[in-house]
Structure 1
Amino acid sequence: MGQEIDHDDFSAQDFEDFQQRLLDNLDGLKALLSNPDFGVGPSSIGAELELYLVDQNARPLSMNREVISRSGHNQLALELNRFNLEYNLSPVSAAGMPFSQLEDEMAYAIHLVNEQLAHENGVALPIGILPTLKRGDFGLHAMTDESRFFALTKALQKLRGRMFCIRIEGEDPISLRSHDVTLEGANCSMQVHFRVNPSRFADTFNALQYVTPVIVALSANSPFMLGHKLWHETRIPLFRQTIDGRTHEECERALPSRVDFGNGWVREGAYELFAEAVRLYEPILPIVGKEKISELIKKGKMPVLNELRLHTGTIWPWNRAVYDANDGGHLRIEMRALPSGPTPVDMIANTAFALGAAKGLQDRMEEIIPSLPFATLAANFYLAAEKGLQANLMWPDLSQPGGLVKKSVVEIAYELLPTAKQGLQQLGVDETEVEKYLGVISNRLDKRISGAIWQRREYQRQLKGQSEQAALTAMVQRYIQNSAKNIPVSEWD
């Protein structure tokens, strides 16, 4: 969805042409993947950091276009709502010191945006959902004036055929109705991209799926929405319910959602995920290009596969396959479940732990998959998002037969730390990097703290002697001060 779309009225012929082009794209992708040399290369890591723009009163600043215009920086990009923007980090080699490089660039990105907001006394804030948002902050007036966002809203409205209705349980349940998708824009994430060789795609993807519930619990940083205390990672249900276009009957028949954890373990490779996207989900933005895919492949050139990339950009699994024609053509796995914040060092620690654990486990997935039904893994994911570090997951005990055991997510994370260390070493990560970032995770586990838990505790502390809204504001202001120091949340007061 990063490309510009100049119209939002489509005919039946447009959809028919687009569907045929999707099939052509799939054929082209299959031809590329049949070449054993395609996508072979060293692992690399990239990320997209989404940020809130907030003023000194911890309220959203609707200035994303102004910030980009003032800075002129080509790695900044517009987001759905005017009070959010995105910074696209430069990809780095997984070997050496990738995490320090990514952390430094994240800190630079925040500083860059802060410079553009100095006149307004505003700052860029990495946080999953800004707790001080109010209902009036949403609506078409809040949407970034970009035709692709209006086209997406119109397409999803047509798909749903009704208002966007949201119901999220928690200590203080919330029900919302909206005519547009701007409520989804409350979510800010830190999306990680990991380049993998096609021959290892299935094992690596499955390993990342396996550890994602643990990472979500560890990194949870979105406990409030419109003043309501909800899930530890409220982004997960908010995004799903805002985008999910299924009717009640479709849900009853277990038809797949456009926002989901997935439909099963990957059996062979990336192709099946792309084919699943084409076969299971109807197109909503049928923009047809003129690329001559087969001719390009015959000439040894990489097709862009615009239709496939656009279509998969309108489906939002929490981990997904990405095809990219750049750098000789390659495959990536995009992790979309991690929230923004609390600090660059925290976000990079989450990334190091996730990629290290997945790398360390990929050779064991043949043993793990029969021990954990995919439906149980998906249930773990949502439970981890709801309960955070307090979650108990159903987890396989690989030391002996006998099925699944209920185990605390903290215990599971402790057990995965040596595996993550081994995986990072296999990637060629410098030992000082390994110790630093896994040390951040270990300290977080020792203190049973996450961004979500810190927010909840600080809110309760601020609530003594002042109103709920004043307590939320004071809490966010403390969060801003601590986040600016770039020290791990486990070391915050």
Structure 2
Amino acid sequence: MGEDVSSTSYTREQRQRYREKVRQNLDVFERMLTTSSFEFDRPLTGMEIELNLVDSAYQPTMTNADVLETIADPDYQTELGQYNIELNVNPRPLPGKAALELEDDLRRSLNRAESMANRTGAHIVMIGILPTLMPEHFTTEWMSANARYAALNEAIFAARGEDLWIDLEGPTGEGLATYADSIAPESACTSVQLHLQVQPQEFAAHWNAAQALSSIQLAVGANSPYFFGKQLWHESRVEIFQQATDTRAEELKNQGVRPRVWFGERWITSIFDLFEENVRYYPALLPETSDEDPVALLEAGEAPQLAELRLHNGTVYRWNRPIYDIVGGRPHLRVENRVLPAGPTIIDCLANSAFYYGVVRMLAESDRPIWTRMSFAAAEENFRQAARRGIESRVYWPGFGEVPTDELVLRHLLPLAHEGLDRWGVAPEVRDRFLGVLEDRCRQGRNGASWQIACVDALEERGKDRPTALRGMLERYVEGMHSNEPVHTWPLP
């Protein structure tokens, strides 16, 4: 959800003060990277899962306040749309059988949450974009009652000075072109976010590795082919998210001003590079200042919160975001991987996670790092092609040239994932269970997006119109989601 704020509008003096404080935070952070001790006694992983709420007709229901009150679990929090909630998974170590325990814990937690949500007439759906979401759902009150969301909406439109333009065409020719007078389309984009705690000197290697791998994650994990009733990209969430938070008018785009949702433009040598870019390129959206004196705290031997720098970082939506945090008085650093869509099942999510953690470990520790053999522009183009075509995409990979993504995974990246999980100390039965799901998915060429498309196609061939086919598909999707059987095994109508 991000840090809370206290206002939805700010004065010029507040903005100037905030800029000064962010720059001071950045200077202190630079000092900390060379002088401070960061927590890394036991590297932890974490996960956040964004979820959708639907009614008995599989239409979005704007009832997250009632659902959260009924669930009454602090792990479940509000999200941007009233039809969204978020599940925050407590950090835990990777080694051993922790992932099997996590699978059981997540299924138990979601089953309970679903049962409680049912009391309010709602059902929980774990999917990249809710396919029954239509423009008319945003014509009434849709935003969660949280000052941060209202402030973001106000700030983005104040910066743009005009409505948002959502424009996207899918590989099959279906397209969407429409204006939006709020950031409502952003709420459609629900994801799984993976966290990996790293040491300062190892951050750049892990971030670069995550950037290189992000296209493959998108391709094999795509689960967002429909938006506003149109079949668009296999992972439409990528482009919708960028366009729905774009603070740039057309003239600023033409000048090369960077979007807030950003792949990046270069490989890095330090985590500092990313925070420095944030400060240099992006004006404040939520200029709230604290009373903390970070210099005094650092000189007293304490870890400062750097609240302004962290708040600013939270309004730059990198697909792999740098995180500075304080736990128990000690600072630590994390790579927050924001690439994956939510769903389709817990086992699919954990298969995607195991693949990520395994391959990133190997790429980061490679003697010949992939980022020394592939241009950043090639990595970005891979990312875009994977978002468009999902598991059917082709990508460039050093040593293979242009290759089908599923072939690259099966021939090269899955063996790396196995070895990487071994290096993490993951139990063989855990490794084999989750990576086996990914292997079978690639062999069959079917992930969440391709299953959704095939299901809708089958229903339309039976004479169903698009809205009826989407509803029928979502009903079958929810059955599959609750079965926890991998999506590539789901039947089609």
TM over 0.5: yes
Offset from partner CA, 1:20-51 (integer Å, 9 cap, x none): 10011112212221136323332211011111
Percentage identity across aligned positions?
32
Cα offset, 1:137, TM superposition: 0.9
Does structure 2 conserve the Cα–Cα contact (< 8 Å) formed by 1:41 and 1:197?
no
**Structure 2 Cα separation of the partners of residues 235 and 435 of structure 1:** 30
Does residue 86 (structure 1) correspond to residue 86 (structure 2)? The answer is yes
SS in 1 for 2:377: helix
In the other structure, the counterpart of 1:340 is: 342
1:488 to 469, 486, 489: 486
Does structure 1 conserve the Cα–Cα contact (< 8 Å) formed by 2:418 and 2:431?
yes
**Structure 2 Cα separation of the partners of residues 168 and 365 of structure 1:** 40
Q: In the TM superposition, what are the counterparts of 1:42-191 in structure 2 within 5 Å?
A: 42-139=42-139, 141-170=141-170, 171=172, 172-191=174-193
Does structure 2 conserve the Cα–Cα contact (< 8 Å) formed by 1:87 and 1:109?
no
Does structure 2 conserve the Cα–Cα contact (< 8 Å) formed by 1:160 and 1:247?
yes
Cα offset, 1:258, TM superposition: 0.8
SS in 2 for 1:91: strand
Q: Which moved more, 1:292-301 or 1:204-213?
A: 292-301
Q: Measured at CA, do residues 42 and 223 of structure 1 come closer, stay the same or move farther in structure 2, by a change above 3 Å?
A: same
Does structure 1 conserve the Cα–Cα contact (< 8 Å) formed by 2:40 and 2:197?
no
In the other structure, the counterpart of 2:392 is: 390
Cα offset, 1:322, TM superposition: 0.2
Cα offset, 1:102, TM superposition: 2.8
Does structure 2 conserve the Cα–Cα contact (< 8 Å) formed by 1:89 and 1:105?
no
Cα offset, 1:243, TM superposition: 0.8
**Structure 2 Cα separation of the partners of residues 139 and 307 of structure 1:** 34
Task: Tell me the amino acid that sits aligned with residue 350 of structure 1.
Answer: N
Does structure 1 conserve the Cα–Cα contact (< 8 Å) formed by 2:99 and 2:430?
yes
Offset from partner CA, 1:360-401 (integer Å, 9 cap, x none): 11122754223211011101101101000111112211xxxx
Offset from partner CA, 1:425-458 (integer Å, 9 cap, x none): 1111111111111101001011111000000111
1:447 to 437, 444, 448: 444
**Structure 2 Cα separation of the partners of residues 486 and 93 of structure 1:** 23
Does structure 1 conserve the Cα–Cα contact (< 8 Å) formed by 2:152 and 2:286?
yes
Cα offset, 1:466, TM superposition: 2.1
**Structure 1 Cα separation of the partners of residues 309 and 224 of structure 2:** 32
Q: Which moved more, 1:231-240 or 1:64-73?
A: 64-73
Does structure 2 conserve the Cα–Cα contact (< 8 Å) formed by 1:49 and 1:106?
no
Q: Which moved more, 1:481-490 or 1:104-113?
A: 104-113
SS in 2 for 1:325: strand
Cα offset, 1:248, TM superposition: 2.5
**Structure 2 Cα separation of the partners of residues 318 and 179 of structure 1:** 25
Q: Which moved more, 1:118-127 or 1:340-349?
A: 118-127
SS in 2 for 1:245: coil
**Structure 2 Cα separation of the partners of residues 198 and 426 of structure 1:** 20
Cα offset, 1:358, TM superposition: 0.6
Does structure 2 conserve the Cα–Cα contact (< 8 Å) formed by 1:113 and 1:123?
no
Task: Tell me the amino acid that sits aligned with residue 358 of structure 2.
Answer: G
Q: Measured at CA, do residues 288 and 366 of structure 1 come closer, stay the same or move farther in structure 2, by a change above 3 Å?
A: farther
Does structure 1 conserve the Cα–Cα contact (< 8 Å) formed by 2:48 and 2:87?
yes
Does structure 2 conserve the Cα–Cα contact (< 8 Å) formed by 1:140 and 1:182?
no
Cα offset, 1:121, TM superposition: 4.3
Cα offset, 1:111, TM superposition: 1.6
**Structure 1 Cα separation of the partners of residues 210 and 234 of structure 2:** 21
Q: In the TM superposition, what are the counterparts of 1:118-267 in structure 2 within 5 Å?
A: 118-139=118-139, 141-170=141-170, 171=172, 172-267=174-269
Task: Tell me the amino acid that sits aligned with residue 130 of structure 1.
Answer: L
Q: Which moved more, 1:81-90 or 1:7-16?
A: 7-16
Does structure 2 conserve the Cα–Cα contact (< 8 Å) formed by 1:207 and 1:362?
yes
Q: Measured at CA, do residues 365 and 168 of structure 1 come closer, stay the same or move farther in structure 2, by a change above 3 Å?
A: farther
Task: Tell me the amino acid that sits aligned with residue 456 of structure 1.
Answer: I
Task: Tell me the amino acid that sits aligned with residue 263 of structure 1.
Answer: E
Task: Tell me the amino acid that sits aligned with residue 118 of structure 2.
Answer: A
In the other structure, the counterpart of 1:374 is: 376
**Structure 2 Cα separation of the partners of residues 176 and 136 of structure 1:** 13
In the other structure, the counterpart of 2:473 is: 475
Does structure 2 conserve the Cα–Cα contact (< 8 Å) formed by 1:139 and 1:182?
no
Does residue 425 (structure 1) correspond to residue 422 (structure 2)? The answer is yes
Does structure 2 conserve the Cα–Cα contact (< 8 Å) formed by 1:53 and 1:122?
yes
**Structure 1 Cα separation of the partners of residues 367 and 316 of structure 2:** 26
**Structure 1 Cα separation of the partners of residues 139 and 160 of structure 2:** 17
**Structure 2 Cα separation of the partners of residues 246 and 101 of structure 1:** 45
SS in 2 for 1:236: helix
RMSD of the alignment, in Å?
1.5
Does structure 1 conserve the Cα–Cα contact (< 8 Å) formed by 2:374 and 2:398?
yes
Does structure 2 conserve the Cα–Cα contact (< 8 Å) formed by 1:206 and 1:266?
yes
Q: Measured at CA, do residues 384 and 476 of structure 1 come closer, stay the same or move farther in structure 2, by a change above 3 Å?
A: same
In the other structure, the counterpart of 1:284 is: 285
SS in 2 for 1:177: strand
Does residue 405 (structure 1) correspond to residue 406 (structure 2)? The answer is no
SS in 2 for 1:150: helix
**Structure 1 Cα separation of the partners of residues 345 and 141 of structure 2:** 30
Offset from partner CA, 1:103-149 (integer Å, 9 cap, x none): 22322332232122223443211000111111111246111121111
Task: Tell me the amino acid that sits aligned with residue 465 of structure 2.
Answer: S
Does residue 313 (structure 1) correspond to residue 314 (structure 2)? The answer is yes
Cα offset, 1:320, TM superposition: 0.8
Q: Which runs of 5+ in 2 are unaligned?
A: none
SS in 1 for 2:8: coil
The number of equivalent residue pairs is: 486
Does structure 2 conserve the Cα–Cα contact (< 8 Å) formed by 1:39 and 1:198?
no
SS in 2 for 1:452: helix
Does structure 1 conserve the Cα–Cα contact (< 8 Å) formed by 2:71 and 2:117?
no
**Structure 2 Cα separation of the partners of residues 392 and 208 of structure 1:** 18
**Structure 2 Cα separation of the partners of residues 37 and 167 of structure 1:** 47
TM-score (norm 2): 0.96
TM-score (norm 1): 0.96
Q: Which moved more, 1:245-254 or 1:440-449?
A: 245-254
Task: Tell me the amino acid that sits aligned with residue 439 of structure 1.
Answer: G
SS in 2 for 1:142: coil
Task: Tell me the amino acid that sits aligned with residue 160 of structure 2.
Answer: R
Does residue 435 (structure 1) correspond to residue 429 (structure 2)? The answer is no
Does structure 1 conserve the Cα–Cα contact (< 8 Å) formed by 2:67 and 2:122?
no
Q: Measured at CA, do residues 478 and 369 of structure 1 come closer, stay the same or move farther in structure 2, by a change above 3 Å?
A: same
Q: Measured at CA, do residues 107 and 396 of structure 1 come closer, stay the same or move farther in structure 2, by a change above 3 Å?
A: same
Does structure 1 conserve the Cα–Cα contact (< 8 Å) formed by 2:129 and 2:226?
yes
**Structure 2 Cα separation of the partners of residues 210 and 371 of structure 1:** 11
Structure 1 runs (4+) greater than 6 angstroms displaced:
none
SS in 2 for 1:275: helix
